[in-house]
Amino acid sequence: MPGTVTNEAPWLSLDRGHVWHPYSAVGADTPVFPVVAASGVRLRLADGRELIDGMASWWCAIHGYNVPEINAALSAQLDTLAHVMFGGLTHAPAARLAGRLVELTPAPLESVFFSDSGSVAVEVALKMAIQYWHARGKPRKQHFATLRRGYHGDTFGAMSVSDPETGMHTLFSNMLAQQLFIDAPTSRFGEPCNATDVAALETVLTAHHDELAALILEPVVQGAGGMRFYAADYLKQARALCDEVGVLLICDEIATGFGRTGRLFACEHAGIAPDILCLGKALTGGYLTLAATLTTAGIAETIRQGDPGVFMHGPTFMANPLACTAALASLQLLLDSPWQGRVVNIEAQLARELAPCRQFDSVAEVRTLGAIGVVELHASVNMQRLPQQFVDAGVWIRPFGKLIYLMPPFIINTEDLGTLTAAITHIIRKL
């Protein structure tokens, strides 16, 4: 099997026989590569090979791996309190993290609900919007407007607001709540928003505002739905239209939050604040699963005053002390670092070194924004072969669909990033 090693450890046989990996089948022959250690931007495989990580572990390990500052914070917290239920109890890491998130995110967001994954953060946001309007005496407002080509997670509510045709969840379409989809904006990032995009948005919001609880979108970057970058001005138009017709605005910054696009939060490119904000992925620097949904004091107070007077959600591992501690250490590390300069340099190098891919017949488009570099092909990649080819080149790059992309840790140096871009150029040339 590709990706396995000679004299493999018994646990690898257990993995092949029993473990379901993301978007895979148990026992499938899709290559899975055994990692035994990680440090900096390198993953070490069981056979001793090292791979330069271009994925930041699905975009969350912004500081790389085995980070001394986060290790030390977790070690100290482990000696005190590893976990306690959050129902009726509280602890300092959660309170301090909530305070830091309120401080960093756009005003007037100031109420924080913790959960344990990005998908759940989206579920929380949807429920929060519905419960808000119920408390306002408008129970018909239970549906959502969202953008085509978007992706918001794998749970049922999150799937319902992800693209219904080009996304990953068409199999479940008959089971999902029916939402209202708006054509994805065609205005490119850095350009004004065109009239056609605004008209499509305005048509749906105006015609259906009485049944819409919120508009949910990924600001500036549509992530797993296609790695598309669109005009920040579209967000300004969306904010204004939502205010005009009485619809909440939810920004899903699970992928874009904490510097990935060159701003701490992508909505800052437009100078707007959502009514509800979803955060995850890089929140803990890739150490532990944690997410947060933030909203305004007005929304929180309206829910408190309505029936039943409390927000109806409560994950078992909500605000886990270890996860909150990791998040506090990761945020401090980010803020103390020259992250803006690093992202600017990554963007410039990605733009320069991926540009030659435009000459290849198999390539439809090359685009970059912040610490994101995307090569879009005309046809879907071969997931049986391509990951193995990248591993053989000494890099970890995991394509999907028609996309070969990079979202590396912010700490990556010029040489290692050059190795990643060279591997992409070389392998696409062979395609």
Please tell me the predicted confidence (pLDDT) of residue 167.
66
Report the pLDDT averaged over residues 83-107: 98
Q: At what angle do helices 92-104 and 321-336 cross, to 10 degrees?
A: 40
Q: Out of 9-23, 90-104, 309-323, 361-375, which region has the weakest mean confidence (pLDDT)?
A: 9-23
Q: What is the mean pLDDT of residues 381-410?
A: 96
Distance CA 36, CA 19 (A): 17
Compute the average pLDDT of residues 367-377: 98
Between 378 and 29, name the one with better pLDDT.
Answer: 378
Question: Which pTM was predicted?
Answer: 0.96
Q: Say whether the peptide bond before residue 308 is cis (omega within 30 degrees of 0).
A: yes
Average pLDDT for residues 13-37, to the nearest whole number? 90
Q: Is 195 helix (H, G, I), strand (E, B) or coil?
A: helix
Q: Identify the active-site residue in 23, 29, 243, 392.
A: 23
Q: Are 199 and 205 in contact (CB under 8 A)?
A: no
CA nearest 278: which of 337, 333, 336, 223? 223
Question: Which of 288, 203, 292 minimizes the C-alpha distance to 252?
Answer: 292
| Cα atoms in the 13 Å half-sphere on the side-chain side of 294 | 24
Beta pairing, strands 403-406 & 372-377: antiparallel
Active site residue 23: yes
Reply yes or no on whether the pLDDT at 59 is more than 90.
yes
CA 130, distance to chain mean position in Å, is 23
Return the pLDDT at 28: 80
Least reliable range by pLDDT among 6-10, 88-92, 183-187, 232-236:
6-10
Which residue of the set 65, 197, 275, 281 is catalytic? 281
Mean pLDDT of 301-330: 97
Q: Which residue has the tokens 């600001």?
A: 219
Cα distance between residue 44 and residue 32, in whole Å: 14
- pLDDT band, residue 384 (cuts 50/70/90): confident
Examine the pLDDT at 413 and tell me if it is beyond 50.
yes
Whether the predicted pLDDT of 280 surpasses 70: yes
More confident residue, 4 or 324: 324
Mean pLDDT of 278-286: 98
- What are the beta bridge partners of residue 215? 145, 249
Condensed to tens digits (0 to 9), the pLDDT of residues 210-254 reads 999 999 999 999 999 999 999 999 999 999 999 999 999 999 999
Fill in the DSSP letter of residue 40.
B
Residues 270-284, mean pLDDT to the nearest whole number: 98
Q: Categorize the per-residue pLDDT at 5 as very low, low, confident or very high, splitting at 50, 70 and 90.
A: very low
The question of whether 252 is a catalytic residue gets the answer yes
- Mean pLDDT, to the nearest integer, of 28-48? 94
Helix boundaries (H) for 177-225: 195-208
- Chain-wide mean pLDDT for the chain? 95
Backbone angles phi, psi at 416, to 5 degrees: -65, -40
Domains of the chain, start order: 10-66+338-430 (3.90.1150.10), 71-336 (3.40.640.10)
158: its two tokens: 């999150």
- Of the residues 65, 132, 151, 234, only one is catalytic, namely 151
Residue with tokens 């250690």: 37
pLDDT of residue 7: 60
pLDDT at 25: 87
Which pLDDT value is given to residue 1? 36
In this prediction, residue 30 has a pLDDT band, given cuts at 50, 70 and 90, of: confident
- Which pLDDT band holds residue 29 (cuts at 50, 70, 90)? confident
Q: Do strands 221-222 and 228-229 pair parallel, antiparallel, or not at all (unpaired)? A: antiparallel
DSSP 373-406: EEEEESS---TTTHHHHHHHTTEE---BTTEEEE
Instruction: Say how far apart CA 206 and CA 200 lie, in whole Å.
Output: 10
Cβ neighbours of 110 (radius 10 Å): 17
- Partners of 291 in beta bridges: 115
What is the pLDDT, as a whole number, of residue 26? 87
Q: Is the peptide bond before 409 cis (omega within 30 degrees of 0)?
A: no
pLDDT of the residue at 4: 42
Lowest mean pLDDT among 17-21, 59-63, 295-299, 392-396: 17-21
| Mean pLDDT, residues 109-119 taken together | 97
CA distance 88 to 108: 26
Q: Say which range, 166-175, 287-296, 333-342, has the weakest mean pLDDT.
A: 166-175
- Report percent pLDDT > 90 for the chain: 91
- pLDDT higher than 50, residue 6: no
151 is catalytic: yes
Q: Is pLDDT larger for residue 85 or for residue 3?
A: 85
Active site residue 402: no
Rounded Cα distance between 139 and 137, Å, is 6
Q: Which two tokens stand for residue 389?
A: 């080819």
pLDDT at residue 9 in the model:
81
